[in-house]
Amino acid sequence: MENKTGKILAVDDNEDILFALKLLLKQHVELIKTTDSPEDIPGLMRNEDFDVILLDMNFTKDAISGQEGFDWLQRILEIDPEAVVVFITAYGDAEKAVKAIKAGATDFILKPWQNEKLIATVSASVQLKRSRTEASGLRMKQKEISKVLDQPFQDFVGASPEMQAVFNTIKKVAKTDANVLILGENGTGKELVARALYRNSPRKDEVFISVDLGSISETLFESELFGHVKGAFTDAIKDKAGRFEIASGGTLFLDEIGNLTLPMQAKLLTVIEKKEVIKVGSTKSIPIDIRLICATNNNIHQMVAEETFRQDLLYRINTVEIHLPPLRERTGDIPILADHFLKIYNKKYKKNVSRISNEAINKLNRYHWPGNVRELQHAIERALIMSDSGKLEAEDFVLSSPARKSDELEIQTYNLDEIEKNVIMKVMKQNQGNISQAASELGLTRTSLYRRMEKYGL
């Protein structure tokens, strides 16, 4: 161990032993902490991530059997299942050594020790800990890969010119590492586009990490995306890798990026530009290599104009933009989509509904579909569950808002402010007061809608 590496905790009730260990090991390791009381172990482990714990097998309560050492071994492994523990005892024998290994210890050293052997044992144990940490990271990545592969991935369905244009863009962009921004209303399939880009990219054998930025509070933003070290804040009981670090080598999908506040945008921009993250509570930078895909249902270009979204961040994330059309603009795809979902749910619920009547298709075509393809999918699932016949009829579909043709706005004035006020009132009523959905339907950001509502006293 010529280069100092490893953080060691030595626990022994003999002060002379601790002094000798510290004197010997401080020349070879980056940190060695000692304590004569095993009661200190949990607190020390909370404050520091030790590579190896050198643990006395026999304390004053029980000088010979070693049971107290075994009890503390179990406590240590409960706190950190990846911990590397090496027992040290003057009463060692083959039987205890076997028992120690079976109980989860890594190795066994007898007092008095040979310095070279102890140094070699500690060195090998440090390497084991590093390997375990690396393996744990790989397992985490594999878990994320499996999560993607295990999901029932539903490929895009659509023959409309609008969707064919989307398919062509995906084919061209997928094989590159270009950052992609996916724009579209809720339910249009933005995550499906992201997964299609991933599955057809050179990074398809690496991880795909999806993050819903709309569900992350500003206080947890850095910890979730960039990670934290043990002790960085009250609940940080151990090091945690952030989403950027886990996704390194693969693809990171940031959904609802339009929901980020300006301070969060600034932090994200720094990481994208520098291609490195610094965990909360650390000063060490970690290089990252990701393919970034972002999505939003907000009018992000209008947000830039209103200075609620950084223009320099937009330049970084939208090397290529993919616009997903709402379902009302590609109604020709409704029969194809409906048949696709019918087959899926027939299989899921073990039913045999053979088709959807023409009257039902006509009803679906006339509907406005504020929830887009996702809403159609749910409508088909619900209708199939409730149906007792082999065919879905128009009455099987209970749609939540009026059909498109009866949904036209009656204009009784040419005053633009009055027209805008009436449109906002109508859309807010249709969306039952949901600001996000109403803003999306109006092509506004939530901030812009709030300003207009304030302007008109709504």
State the Cα–Cα distance between residues 396 and 380, nearest whole angstrom: 9
Query: Smallest Cα–Cα separation from 53: which of 228, 98, 74?
Result: 74
| pLDDT tens over the chain, length 458 residues | 457 788 999 998 888 889 999 999 988 898 999 998 889 998 898 888 888 999 887 766 555 566 778 888 888 888 888 889 988 877 555 566 667 777 778 787 877 888 888 898 898 888 888 877 766 665 565 555 555 444 433 457 888 888 989 999 999 999 999 999 999 999 999 999 999 999 889 998 888 999 999 888 888 899 999 999 888 888 778 888 899 999 999 999 999 999 999 999 999 999 999 999 999 998 889 999 999 999 999 999 999 999 999 999 999 999 999 999 999 999 999 999 999 999 999 999 999 998 999 999 999 999 999 999 999 999 999 999 999 888 999 999 988 754 444 445 555 666 777 788 888 888 888 777 778 878 877 878 878 888 888 888 88
CB–CB of 318/179 below 8 Å?
A: yes
Residue 31 CA, chain-centre distance (Å), reads 33
Q: How many CB atoms lie within 10 A of CB 450?
A: 14
Which amino acid, residue 118?
L
State the Cα–Cα distance between residues 197 and 204, nearest whole angstrom: 9
State the Cα–Cα distance between residues 301 and 362, nearest whole angstrom: 36
CB–CB of 452/420 below 8 Å?
A: yes
CB–CB of 50/57 below 8 Å?
A: no
Alpha-carbon distances of 108 from 95, 101, 324, 410, rounded to whole Å = 11, 8, 62, 85
CB–CB of 248/289 below 8 Å?
A: yes
Alpha-carbon distances of 71 from 54, 57, 450, rounded to whole Å = 14, 9, 61
For the chain, list the domains and their CATH numbers: 7-132 (3.40.50.2300), 151-323 (3.40.50.300), 327-404 (1.10.8.60), 409-455 (1.10.10.60)
Name the percent of the chain in helix, strand, coil, to the closest 5: 50, 15, 35
State the Cα–Cα distance between residues 290 and 242, nearest whole angstrom: 13
Q: Give me 405's structure tokens.
A: 């043709």
